[in-house]
Structure 1
Amino acid sequence: QPVLFLGNLRHNLDPEGRHSDTELRDALAAVGLRSLCGALAPTEGRLVLSQGQQQMLSAARALLRRPRVVLLDEVTACLPSEAAKGALQTLLGRFKDVRAT
């Protein structure tokens, strides 16, 4: 199960506050979560997302952090097949130097 932090969407995407609103919106859009962009405003309350949205949120977090190593274990398992295909292509395109196995 994807890791979510206590707090709002912004904190879950960028816990250290290093990225601009534009970067956060771009990361959400890249993984098919454009509809959540309105939830970036700092609000109180618990973040409630479906399993598939949680997986894509973790992928968006990885896009923002640009780690040297990315492990994706069934990252699209809870998504409809067309959404999964698009999300996987986007992720692999963003991590161009990553070897997929």
Structure 2
Amino acid sequence: MLPEMTDEQRAAALARAHEARAIRAEIRVLLKSGSITFLDVLDRAEENTLVAGMKIQAVVVSMPHMGTVATKRLFEEIGIADNRTIRGLGKNQRKALIERFP
């Protein structure tokens, strides 16, 4: 059961959620435009827990020339679950993605 929250706590939680969505959306837009690379996203994930919590599928789909079908095939090839986050990537999975998106 969810704890009871005061109006101030609820407002603060909503502000944090809005910030998280904005940061994640910005990352996806920058990736799609080619302004940042996959390695840049991994570096940001080391410093920012909001980025580290992004679904890796959302990140890869945002890469230029990658759609949902290509991403699904890549994940099956590498062995990455659809619901994996950047933080949850294994060493070999991370290495395979870095090789694919230098």
TM band (smaller chain) = 0.3 to 0.5
In terms of Rg, which structure is larger? 2
**Greater relative contact order (Cα 8 A, min sep 6): structure 1 or 2?**
1
TM-score (norm 2): 0.36
| Higher relative helix content | 2
